[in-house]
Chains A and B, each alone.
Chain A
Amino acid sequence: MRKTIRIAFVGQPNVGKSTLFNAITRGNAIVTNWPGTTVEKHEGHLNYRDYELVVIDLPGIYGLSYTTLEERISRRFIVEEKPDVVVVLVESLNLERTLYLAIEIRELVGNIVVAVTKVDEAHSRGIHINFDLIERRLNTSVVPVSALKRVGLDRLLDTVIRSVGMEKPLLKIDYGELEPFIDSIEHIVQGYSENLRYPTRWLAIKFLEGDAEVEDILRKALGNQYRELEEIREEAKRRIGIDLAAFISMKRFNYAREIVKNAIIKHRVVRKERIIDKIFFNPFTAPIISFSIIVAIFLAVFIVNTGYPISDILRNLGYSELGDIFEEYSLSSLVEKLFEYIGNVVVDTLGEGPLTSFIVNGVLGGLASVLIFIPLIAIAMAILGALEDSGVLTRIAIGTHLLFQRIGLSGHSLLPITLSLGCNVPGVMGSRASPNPLERIKLVILTPFIPCQARLVVLLAIATAIGGFAGAILVPLAYFVAFSVFIVLSYIASVVSKRRGVYEEAELLLELPPLHRPYARVVWWFTWFYLKHFLVKAGTVIFSVSIISWILLHISLSTEYTEDVGGSIAAQISRFLAPLLSPLGISGEKAWITMYAIIMGFLAKELVVSAIVTATNSTSFEEAFQKLGLSIPSAIAFTLFITLYIPCLATLATIYSESKSFKYVLLSVIVMISTAYLIALLSYLVALML
């Protein structure tokens, strides 16, 4: 039996924690959530020498205060779950600030190993670090590592194994004038120490900082004597004169600064001319360059995936054959062809029948609708990953901040909106980027309005089927309307919250990482993370929904297999709801098919296309759409309704997991359906007049 060692990784954002974590666990991590939260917990297992190592990656934090959820999770984990060793990551390029967290943790636990990251880069920049001195000042082992070059990884693990069970006394920083106050609080708290899991000196310091969670702990433990602590704190405030939390942070920084001053020899490296930053921080060029980058990325992804808009532009210029080639060899049409081929093989070998239909339309169809998204998400994520790793994404967020502020959002919302253009699921997840709870919930509710690529597929199919002028403007019109709705609703939300007095200006506070060329390995991790997430979550939803919808489509009310979709359960439900569409000019014999497509679109947006094809018994979408007999105004209204009407099932599930509230899920559905219906009605009336 191998002995298990539990190791917690802690570090500030940007110190290279996930890179080191991935390098050590080789990407084999289980991702779950921290209990009762949506913060992800990454846990990796590996066998090393005679041990089984369990590495728990704690969220990136700047310190151990109670203000953010991530900080509370981390310190609770360290104290209550008692990992065998805590590895604190400190960045060699930014020693002073990153040591701050190591100092805070060293005040709380006796068994840590400090990993100094990015030493290869530090070396090439002429920074030399005296690791022994840091070791002495923190009274703990220090190991220099470089995750990308795989330097020092074994040494780090060996040091960790060696230090299991080697508890050392906690670090004591001299807090100067505050010391007598810390002493008297400790003196009182010591009488209750058996009920407290945290070290008494640490509790005393955190109490003086005004830490709400520690206050709670002490209030419960001390009962009536808690009053005495408050009096001591009041006295300390009078003596010190400034915010105690600021004073304490200052002392910790002084300690870090002392270490850095003596431990680092730096050859002054000439700073590079910062042309890129000049562009990103100029209030005029910043939004232009930022939006150009985003638009360029998505045009590129769209072209690779569907051929649009190059195919349309070529056709309009008169090169229709060239345009068709672009569309034919786009990724989505290639995947489609592949599945068509497999389907034909199955039909040839098994012959027609319920089983063949189930395999071809249910199982294969479901598989295809999942697979079709893989290249698309992979490309979009790889580009985003490169932007993120190189530090450009942070600059884009800063560059667009001013514009976002006008609609009550901040630069933090750039990432979720951009992700949403690909797929709303990561978009809603990405709303975590905002530290402002109000902005976060706004993004969770509103980003599903941003048309995802699945909707682009539907839009393109309808546009091609309609043709002519209306067909040419349909896609740009839908995007324009969707973005306008997003902007207007976001603005209205901030006006409403201002009225109700809960508004807080969406602000920005971001560390600016230095620009560098993206590392392929880091980009791959970023891509793989989102892809895996998509495959597991959305994949299972889309796949199982395709199978359920096959059943609804091929089983009649008398529970018999039927070839005629018109007699299926799904058709019955759609017939019942179809009259809702008559204000949009959609009525008559075929109206239920449109309704049916809308219902299927709720399951997954791209199903709209296949739903219309199968329900009309057609071979192509163009033929199918003609059979619906929609007038141009009705077709436009239908298209806009499809673009806006509801988050798909997978997105709804994500909205729930992000907000942990059915109320918000319901709100999102109501807001989207009513907006979509209103816009569709309006566009129908306008189009009638033209």
Chain B
Amino acid sequence: MISPKTVVLLACSWAIAISFFTGLPSAAFAQQKPAATSSHTSPNFAALSEAAEKANEENRNDDAIRLYRQALNVQPDWKQGLWFLGLLLYEKEQYAEVRDLMRRFVAVEPLAGPGWALLGLSEFQTREYPRSLEHLQHTRSIGLGEQQEMSDALFYHVSVLLTRFEQYDAAMALLMGMRKSGSSPDLLVEPIGLSALRYPLLPSEIPPARKEMFRMAGEAALADEANRRDEAEKLFSTMATEFPNEPGVHFLFGVFLLNVRPNDGIKEIQRELEIVPYNLTAKIRLADEYLKEEKFDDALRLANEVVQLDPQNASGFMVLGETLVAKDDLDRGIAALETSRELRPETVRTHWDLLRAYTSAGRAKDAKREKEEIEQILHPVAPQ
């Protein structure tokens, strides 16, 4: 199995071999000296930097590290030195020092995606997870340039951090995207299991006694994604038999079954709610199913329970609104949908609901606005 660490190191080794500098927005800065300090460049620096580069090219890593450090003492903003010293130290697992070097690096080269990536990866290793996620997400937003080989490491770490920060759906989308792009299922199975069962843990934080539960969940979710339904059902069923009292297990199996045998799916989700009566996600999913089956009173009861327990729950208000509209209670339905929109404006489904509800209520102007919102979300205009 390829470990996450191996993925990072492979990416970094590659990056050592082929300098990414030429791909950076400030092209060819490998040859350039920082303008702010160029007037202070000393012969000592020139000799040190040249010796460091030579040692690096010849894989004399300890010499290179020593020389890069000396050169950076003379010229602290030397971008090439910061970057290569960072890579060499990352290989030696000196993560705190890499983090500090990359902070300096991105300060002088703020558009260098690989710099932000190495910063975030180092912060992951020093367990500064909020900052790591922020910086890795920033990398995603500005891109890796020509360093796409780093993307596996980037996406892997973003996805496991998203799970740890309870953004399970975003994590799952990223992980499944990685699988489609060819990432090894061995690497992904535990992160997918955690995300599917909605546990905010990293793979390294899984309790040993339940490791198998997360593996089964991950393997089943991967089988389902690949349309190997029989295999998925067998795995989900085994998981539910072996871990019958663990939160999340019956919910996950139930959601799968809703698409296969809805009645069995409902039973599994009801079993989940016996184990965890306040699993709001399960209540919402069940309410959604009841709504589909036009069991409006059951749907309404569950959706109301959700929004009473958690008044910030956008999905709860969305299903509540949809149910009320389905029962022809347009005013209260629209109010619930508007609350949902306010709580989570990026959800397209809420805007569609509102578009239909406003249309039914004869509120053409509001309906038009919702249509524009949908367009904006689906086809965002890049900022000038």
Q: Bound pair: A and B?
A: no
- B contact set with A: CB distance below 8 Å: none
